[in-house]
């Protein structure tokens, strides 16, 4: 009996194996719906693949892995197969319409089409390159993971952006700036001899959502990465990434010729400096023939740059671009610049880069943060979008949640992405959204060596959303979230719908319990975790929260209209009109552009003070409701992931109340107004919150 009990316990353990989240959205769990399972099996019996490249081998392996997991079958390779992986040159006997269609798909687009051969349905996955076929395989597997009908397929998918990158802010000591999920994936001490399996799985995950580039190192760059020993290590990573269609990029420290080359200057117009960079770039391409190029942060937050020598950003970028051009490499030059001399930090990027429009070489892209300040929970779009028609621009989003609760808050960022991409710049008239001005996408990665990759299980959705949206900017936030939920957890509607509701509201709730109505940058100094609207101890005004909210007895908010800093003048006239008048300015952006009276009547009919109280309290209550919603879904989720999310939601609910109480108590010292009746009173007085000393050890 004891032996039977032991065996039974072991079987139960095996059947209820905990999920760690390591598999991300590539779990390939067995299909529970018998009808759908049988329908898939009736179509899928074997496959054929034309070609033996490492990328096609990866595509074949993924197809076998996915279908074995979901359909519980081992897929044999036959000719003809019920699934065909082939490029146009192998489709000579196929209808011309297929080959004509493929002429339009470029190097990365793919088709998935149901065809008939020998009176039997077959599924063709094709593209002009092996990489395109790999993308097609991942998309086909996604269809099955999300329980979509695969009987009559006619899919054409072409990426809308050629550059779809992750920017890792990883340091060479494996710490990650603004990282909340452990240490860097790149084990520099073990490279190049040892490449961890996790690197392959990282590449698989990126390829599955169409990400085709990765910047390995922090924008606050270390010149050591450009030395020969480190480049050998980079090569080992690039050799893995290449198989999955991912180009490798590095950050270039502008002073590298001094630090690595023993030159006395890094002046971009100095012939010796230019020769040093050309030789360095040539040596990189000898090791990594598909090297993508450089990402550069210069003359920002103390980083060296061309302005140190009286040169412009264009001078610096073009020097690197000339070295990269013979190899088809690119320069991504960040527009994140600000200094204490600027009247309004909002304005500086535009002031420095707008005059340079058209002066950058063709292989230079200016990489612009989504908003004019710094990845805040809500920002108006950067005025550079729509203002530089002669310069390719890249969008920079931040996946790592520096200002969105970091590693503990559930915040789905796709609505933030969509809000920015859909904003009309009115460049050349109505109907020119931010998305139409872009030549590429970059997301500051939220990935570390935590077992589940991103720390918070739901933070994976932001990595997923960046990839899917940069491939297809027409996808809605809801579509992307549904895909992710179904692949990451279950396709059961009783789980999908309430979790979708949580995700879709999560960012708005966070905005309202942290920075409602256009408040911004009121968090703790340095680590940016928790509320500190009273902060005013740092040497530069724009490093202090009080600089941004300007609360006084008359009101609150930063006047950026024509009577203030006039930052609104950087936008097209139609955009200015949206925000210039206080009575018509959308409530969500009111304090971005106006210093409003505490008694100002909001669009809700409430006074500004009462609206602040309303938003802080209702958002906090909404997080508590999200807690209860998650608890009701226990039966759909493995115990480990359920408990992890449950614990993090408890932290989020507590911290939402912390933000609410600390901010309202502080702003009350200026408004001199009582809290409206019926709201939960603060748990402590203001001095309690001011005396909290938050120390983080990320």
Hey, which residues are catalytic here? 301, 374, 402
In 423-538, where does DSSP find H-type helix?
460-471, 477-488, 493-514
- Taken in order 539, 540, 543, 544, the sign of the CA dihedral is positive
Q: Quick one: which of 618, 496, 486 has its CA closest to 145?
A: 486
How far apart are the two ends of the chain, measured CA to CA in Å?
A: 50
Neighbours of 159 (CB within 10 A): 21
The alpha carbon of residue 513 and the mean position of all alpha carbons in its chain are separated, in whole angstroms, by 22
| Contact (Cβ atoms closer than 8 angstroms) between residue 435 and residue 390 | no
Q: Which contacts of 111-114 are long-range, i.e. CB under 8 A and separated by 24 or more positions?
A: 111/136, 111/155, 111/156, 111/157, 112/136, 112/139, 112/140, 112/143, 112/153, 112/154, 112/155, 112/157, 113/153, 113/154, 113/155, 114/151, 114/152, 114/153, 114/154
The angle at the Cα of 217, spanning 328 to 54, to the nearest 5 degrees, equals 55
| Contact (Cβ atoms closer than 8 angstroms) between residue 650 and residue 627 | yes
| Contact (Cβ atoms closer than 8 angstroms) between residue 682 and residue 664 | yes
Query: What's phi and psi for 477, nearest 5 deg?
Result: -60, -40
| Contact (Cβ atoms closer than 8 angstroms) between residue 579 and residue 596 | no
Q: What does DSSP assign to residue 440?
A: E
147 torsion bin: left (phi>0), alpha (psi -120 to 50), beta (else) = left
Half-sphere exposure of 335 (CA within 13 A, CB side): 36
Give, in order, the Cα–Cα distances in Å from 118 to each of 82, 97, 114, 122, 167. Answer: 11, 19, 13, 10, 48
Please give the structure tokens belonging to residue 524.
Answer: 């703790």
Contacts of 1 (CB under 8 A, 6+ apart): none
Neighbours of 74 (CB within 10 A): 8
Q: To 10 degrees, the CA torsion angle through 361, 365, 366, 368?
A: 170
Looking up tokens 């349905």 gives 121
Which helix (H) or strand (E) segment holds residue 395: the answer is strand 393-398
CA–CA dist 546, 540 (Å, integer): 11
3-class state of residue 157 by DSSP = strand
| Contact (Cβ atoms closer than 8 angstroms) between residue 135 and residue 108 | yes
Query: What's phi and psi for 527, nearest 5 deg?
Result: -85, -15
CA–CA dist 670, 663 (Å, integer): 11
């Amino acid at each position: 009996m004891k032996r039977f009990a032991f065996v039974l316990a072991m079987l139960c353990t095996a059947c209820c194996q905990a999920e760690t989240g390591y598999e991300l959205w590539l779990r390939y769990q067995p299909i529970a719906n018998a009808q759908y399972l049988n329908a898939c099996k009736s179509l899928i019996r074997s496959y054929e693949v034309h070609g033996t490249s490492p990328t096609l081998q990866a595509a074949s392996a993924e197809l076998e892995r996915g279908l074995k997991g979901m359909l519980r079958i081992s897929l044999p390779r036959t000719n003809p197969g019920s699934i065909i992986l082939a490029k146009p040159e192998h489709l000579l006997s196929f209808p011309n319409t297929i080959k004509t269609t493929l002429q339009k798909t470029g190097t990365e687009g793919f088709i998935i089409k149901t065809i008939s051969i020998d009176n039997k349905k077959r599924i063709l996955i094709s593209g002009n390159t092996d990489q395109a076929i790999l993308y097609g395989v991942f998309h086909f597997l996604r269809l099955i993971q999300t329980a979509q009908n695969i009987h009559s397929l006619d899919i054409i998918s072409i990426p809308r952006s050629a550059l779809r990158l992750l920017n890792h802010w990883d340091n060479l000591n494996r710490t990650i700036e603004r990282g909340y999920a452990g240490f860097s994936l790149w084990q520099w001490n073990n490279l190049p001899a040892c490449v961890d399996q996790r690197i392959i799985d990282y590449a698989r995950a990126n390829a599955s959502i169409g990400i085709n580039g990765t910047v390995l190192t922090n924008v606050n760059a270390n010149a050591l990465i450009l030395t020969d020993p480190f480049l050998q290590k980079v090569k080992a990573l690039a050799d893995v990434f290449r198989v999955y269609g991912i180009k490798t990029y590095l950050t270039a420290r502008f002073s590298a010729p001094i630090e690595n080359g023993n030159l006395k200057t890094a002046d971009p117009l100095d012939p010796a400096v230019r020769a040093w960079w050309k030789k360095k770039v040539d040596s990189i391409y000898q090791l990594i023939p598909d090297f993508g190029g450089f990402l550069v942060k210069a003359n920002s937050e103390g980083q060296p740059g061309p302005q140190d020598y009286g040169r412009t950003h264009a001078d610096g970028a073009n020097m690197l671009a000339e070295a990269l051009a013979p190899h088809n490499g690119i320069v991504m030059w960040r527009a994140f610049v600000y200094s204490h001399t600027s009247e309004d930090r909002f304005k500086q990027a535009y002031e420095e880069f707008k005059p340079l429009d058209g002066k950058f070489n063709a292989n230079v892209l200016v990489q612009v943060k989504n908003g004019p300040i710094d990845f805040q929970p809500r920002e108006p779009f950067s005025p550079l979008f729509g203002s530089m028609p002669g310069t390719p621009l890249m969008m920079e989003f931040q996946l790592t949640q520096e200002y969105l609760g970091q590693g503990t808050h559930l915040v789905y960022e796709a609505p933030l992405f969509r809000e920015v991409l859909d904003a009309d710049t009115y460049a050349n008239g109505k109907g020119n959204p931010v998305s139409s001005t872009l030549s590429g996408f970059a997301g500051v990665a939220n990935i570390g060596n935590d077992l589940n990759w991103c720390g918070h299980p739901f933070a994976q959705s932001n990595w997923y959303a960046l990839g899917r949206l940069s491939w297809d900017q027409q996808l809605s936030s809801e579509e992307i979230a549904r895909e992710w939920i179904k692949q990451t957890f279950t396709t059961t509607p009783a789980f999908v719908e309430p979790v979708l509701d949580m995700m879709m509201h999560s960012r708005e709730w966070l905005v309202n319990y942290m920075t409602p109505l256009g408040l911004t940058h009121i968090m703790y100094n340095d680590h940016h975790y928790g509320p500190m609207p009273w902060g005013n101890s740092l040497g530069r005004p724009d490093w202090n929260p009080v600089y941004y909210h300007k609360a006084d007895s008359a009101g609150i908010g930063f006047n950026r209209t024509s009577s203030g800093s006039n930052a609104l003048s950087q936008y097209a006239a139609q955009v200015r009109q949206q925000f210039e008048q206080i009575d018509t300015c959308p409530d969500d952006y009111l304090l971005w552009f106006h210093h409003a009276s505490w008694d100002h009547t909001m669009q809700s009919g409430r006074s500004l003070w009462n609206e602040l109280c309303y938003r802080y309290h209702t958002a906090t209550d909404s997080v508590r409701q999200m807690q209860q919603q998650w608890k009701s879904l226990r039966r759909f989720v493995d115990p480990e992931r359920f408990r992890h999310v449950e614990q993090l939601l408890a932290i989020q609910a507590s911290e939402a109340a912390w933000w609410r109480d600390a901010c309202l108590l502080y702003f009350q010292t200026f408004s001199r107004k009582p809290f409206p009746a019926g709201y939960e009173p603060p748990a402590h007085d203001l001095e309690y919150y001011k005396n909290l000393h938050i120390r983080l050890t990320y």
